[in-house]
């Protein structure tokens, strides 16, 4: 079975500041990871990946 190409898929570039903003918006007004991901049109896994990346860089901590 062959797949069809239905359209042009965009690939966005996110700055560290944008990633940090997304990561930090989890929990604000009780927003879940799923809700934040949907709001930004990304996957939940992307939020978790960015969270890990920001933690590794030392710019985000789960404590505050």
**Residue 64 resides in a domain:** no
> Which residue range(s) make up the domain with 48?
16-57
**Residue 2 resides in a domain:** no
**Residue 35 resides in a domain:** yes
State how many domains the chain has. Answer: 1
**Residue 22 resides in a domain:** yes
pTM for the full model?
0.79
Nearest CA to 57 out of 14, 3, 16 is that of: 16
Q: What is the pLDDT of residues 12-47, one digit of tens each?
A: 899 999 999 999 999 999 999 999 999 999 999 999
**Residue 34 resides in a domain:** yes
Phi/psi at 15 (nearest 5 deg)?
-75, 165
**Residue 53 resides in a domain:** yes
How far is 28 from 36, CA to CA, in rounded Å? Answer: 10
The reported pLDDT for the residue numbered 63 is 77
């Amino acid at each position: 079975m062959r797949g069809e190409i239905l359209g042009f898929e965009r690939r966005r570039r996110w700055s560290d500041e944008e990633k940090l903003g997304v990561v930090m918006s989890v929990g604000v007004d009780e927003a879940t990871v799923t809700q934040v991901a949907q709001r930004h049109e990304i996957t939940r896994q992307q939020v978790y990946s960015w969270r890990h990346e920001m933690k590794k860089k030392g710019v985000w901590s789960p404590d505050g």
